[in-house]
Structure 1
Amino acid sequence: MVEIELVPEDLSNEDNTSYVEMSKADIWFLKHLLKKYNPKKIVEVGVSAGGTTVNLLNWKDDNAKLYSIDISTQWYQDETKSIGFFASEYEQQEDWKFFKGKDFLDVYKEIGDNIDFIIIDTRHAVPGEILTFIATLPQLKDGCIVVLHDLHLNMMYINEDIIDIYYNIASHCNALLFGGVSSHKKWTVKNDPMTNIGAFVVDDTTRENIKDVFHILTSTWEYFPDDLDLDAYDEYVKEHYSTETYNLYSNCMKLQSKLFNLNPKIEFSTDKK
């Protein structure tokens, strides 16, 4: 495996920085990979205000199509605003399809396979992006570029002297995914003190060693994903993965469900020491 650390360059005046929730280095990293690999079917999971969506629409090739998905319908920072509100002026474009209040499994048949570029930027807490990647992988073509944002969000908050137990403990889902997934090539961006965005190529090792990603589901979950259609996930994993991998997934779901049912108000302590 080769991990390449890219040195960010300046953004152009046309690059959007409003409502992006990324540093300028992160924005450049995403733009660099999109321009270099020129994908034709792009999927964005996690939209928030839509700042990154605007950039993806402006950067992509004219013949490419973008599919944006967010399980929320309202922006988490201001519930009077609709999810993706910043990109609303683009909604009539034929090269963009926006699924609001939907999970990937709700719409994957409409999107189809051969996805060659995907950015996953959702809950940041386990099992969040782990389940998203498990759901999306069967639809990703070999050579697909997978971008993970907020790779080390928990560490970034510590660096900024924001010592909050939620961010310190819970916001490390994409770090676990990035470290656990197999690929011949991974990228990060050079940043101080630590990169917060990464990417990898889907290749033969990604699929061969996917059970390593499923093993992350045995770690402590910060929440139980009862907003998802878990019956649909069960059938999907059974159909697309090996029996051994499905059994691991099924047992994890049963045990995590038992944990949260026994302790319905599980939450991390907020005591400061």
Structure 2
Amino acid sequence: MLDLLKSIYSKVPSWVSTGTITSAEAAVLSSMVQRLRPRVLVEVGTASGVSTAVLAAAADAADQQWELHTFDIMEVCYFDESKIVGQAALEILGERPNVHFHRSSTALDIKATLGDRQVDFVFIDASHSSPWAAIDLLSILPNLREGAVIALHDLLLPFREGYSHQNAARDIFRVWRGQKWTEASAPNLGILRFTDIKQTLADIATLLQADWDIAHSAEVIDDFVSLLSPFAEIDYPGEAQCRMFFAKCVPEVINGNQHTKPARFPFACGSQVHPNQTDDALRVIWKGLPTSSGTHLLFSAYASNGAADNPGAVVSVRDLNRKPDEIQSISVEPRTRTFIDFETGNCDHLDLEIAVTPTPGLHAYYAGIELSPFTVKGAGSSRKN
């Protein structure tokens, strides 16, 4: 395998200066493909095509019949418009009849391209702004074989300067409740195993209702809604909220960044918000529907000055209805998303006081309230000017 990778990377053209996987990530992907021996591979996000060459060479080494379909929204490479998408793969491997380049295409085109063929291995490395990776995954689900492996690139991208709103891959990896892992040699690569369609749909529903990193037009939202039609007969947690969310999306500017938010912002599904700013803390009361299990809260904190050394905020939650004297607190680093599990037990209704004490420079926090199992009941924002 090492000789194979050395051969590939020795042929990477000099014009490829960015936007590709590392040799350590290539080793993990190559080893996985040779071990799994997938017959149908899909890549979302071709760019220069170095990763395409790695996947194709690994599939070749597995010594079986295979086909690789790679999709990219561009016709030309995003960092060198003099080269077509996949140009590096062509220079490294030459023309391969079983490597299919789908330029000016997205994951939305996968079903029409593959028909009923089942996919065994997926590599997602396209837009890293939420919710694109979740949309890519949702697009592939109708063709995904049970037991298939999904590789997500750029789990650590949000921690690089200038990329704090590139959370798509990391968000999927964090909410995924099935089997998942990373390799010590390639921590930027997240691996998921697909086994449960209902659970996967519920996880995607959660992601779609958290903060988006980018706004979308009504036409794109219509395309997103169409993705749900193959799953109309599947009763999965969050299905109704997922449909409702897509139907009521509106763009909004927060901290100078355009987001797409549900029209029922700041809270969803009939809950109410009562701001009560005390001292330096931002406080809201979340009134929700009954739950017999627990509540899963998703918090995000963003520093208005983008300073990496800003310590973020402290979030405190207490159940005013059941345990008013018990407070759960969690520290939220800026430009990150942090989960806290809050056990509510049996109750007639929820009265959760959410208090956020921001540090200097922190402009906003966002909180998503999700009833277990990951059925989102609200998403909110409070600001300190």
TM-score bin (small chain): 0.7 to 0.9
Aligned to 2:192: 200
Give the one of 201, 206, 214 matched to 1:210: 201
- Alpha-carbon distance between aligned partners in 1 of 2:221 and 2:250, rounded to the nearest angstrom: 14
- Alpha-carbon distance between aligned partners in 1 of 2:83 and 2:5, rounded to the nearest angstrom: 28
Corresponding pairs, count: 252
Work out whether residues 16 and 55 of structure 1, in 8 Å CA contact, stay in contact via their aligned partners in 2.
no
Query: Which string of whole-angstrom CA distances, capped at 9 and with x for unpartnered residues, describes residues 228-263 of structure 1?
Result: 7543432330332446644322322244x3134999
Work out whether residues 74 and 80 of structure 1, in 8 Å CA contact, stay in contact via their aligned partners in 2.
yes
Query: Which string of whole-angstrom CA distances, capped at 9 and with x for unpartnered residues, describes residues 2-61 of structure 1?
Result: xxxxxxx89742243734622222111111111110100000010111111111121114
Once the two structures are TM-superposed, the CA of residue 217 in structure 1 deviates from its matched residue by 1.3
- Alpha-carbon distance between aligned partners in 1 of 2:59 and 2:203, rounded to the nearest angstrom: 32
**Higher helix proportion:** 1
Q: 2:82 is matched by which residue type in structure 1?
A: T
Aligned to 1:190: 184
Work out whether residues 39 and 64 of structure 1, in 8 Å CA contact, stay in contact via their aligned partners in 2.
yes
Pair member with larger Rg: 2
Q: Do structure 1's residue 148 and structure 2's residue 140 form an aligned pair?
A: no
Give the one of 155, 166, 170 matched to 2:165: 170
What pairs up with 1:119-130 in 2 under 5 angstroms?
119-130=123-134
Cα distance change on mapping 1:24 and 1:87 into 2, 3 Å: closer
Query: Which string of whole-angstrom CA distances, capped at 9 and with x for unpartnered residues, describes residues 66-113 of structure 1?
Result: 001011222221223222221235674321111101122224222133
Give the one of 106, 131, 143 matched to 1:103: 106
Work out whether residues 42 and 68 of structure 2, in 8 Å CA contact, stay in contact via their aligned partners in 1.
yes
Aligned to 2:87: 85
Give the one of 248, 252, 273 matched to 2:245: 252
Work out whether residues 103 and 228 of structure 1, in 8 Å CA contact, stay in contact via their aligned partners in 2.
no
Aligned to 1:179: 174
Aligned to 2:362: none
- Alpha-carbon distance between aligned partners in 1 of 2:152 and 2:101, rounded to the nearest angstrom: 20
Once the two structures are TM-superposed, the CA of residue 264 in structure 1 deviates from its matched residue by 10
Aligned to 1:4: none
Q: 1:239 is matched by which residue type in structure 2?
A: P
- Alpha-carbon distance between aligned partners in 1 of 2:47 and 2:219, rounded to the nearest angstrom: 18
Cα distance change on mapping 1:11 and 1:79 into 2, 3 Å: same
- Alpha-carbon distance between aligned partners in 2 of 1:190 and 1:263, rounded to the nearest angstrom: 35
Work out whether residues 153 and 169 of structure 2, in 8 Å CA contact, stay in contact via their aligned partners in 1.
yes
Q: Any idea what SS the aligned residue of 1:143 has?
A: strand
Q: 1:126 is matched by which residue type in structure 2?
A: S
- Alpha-carbon distance between aligned partners in 2 of 1:213 and 1:116, rounded to the nearest angstrom: 20
Work out whether residues 143 and 201 of structure 1, in 8 Å CA contact, stay in contact via their aligned partners in 2.
yes
Aligned to 1:3: none
Query: Which string of whole-angstrom CA distances, capped at 9 and with x for unpartnered residues, describes residues 135-184 of structure 1?
Result: 111210001010001112122x2xxxxx32xx1x212211110111232x
Cα distance change on mapping 1:272 and 1:104 into 2, 3 Å: closer
Q: Do structure 1's residue 65 and structure 2's residue 60 form an aligned pair?
A: no
5+ residue gaps, structure 2, are 260-301, 308-385
What pairs up with 1:256-267 in 2 under 5 angstroms?
257-260=249-252, 266=258
**Higher strand proportion:** 2
- Alpha-carbon distance between aligned partners in 2 of 1:105 and 1:263, rounded to the nearest angstrom: 30
User: What is the percent sequence identity of the aligned residues?
Assistant: 22
Work out whether residues 10 and 28 of structure 1, in 8 Å CA contact, stay in contact via their aligned partners in 2.
no
Q: Any idea what SS the aligned residue of 2:9 has?
A: coil
Q: CA RMSD in A?
A: 3.1
Q: Do structure 1's residue 132 and structure 2's residue 136 form an aligned pair?
A: yes
- Alpha-carbon distance between aligned partners in 1 of 2:51 and 2:75, rounded to the nearest angstrom: 17
Q: 2:145 is matched by which residue type in structure 1?
A: K
Q: Any idea what SS the aligned residue of 1:151 has?
A: coil
Q: Do structure 1's residue 74 and structure 2's residue 76 form an aligned pair?
A: yes
Higher relative contact order (Cα pairs below 8 Å, separated by 6+ residues): 1
5+ residue gaps, structure 1, are 1-8, 158-162
Q: 1:200 is matched by which residue type in structure 2?
A: L
Q: 2:180 is matched by which residue type in structure 1?
A: K
Cα distance change on mapping 1:186 and 1:262 into 2, 3 Å: closer
Q: 2:214 is matched by which residue type in structure 1?
A: Y
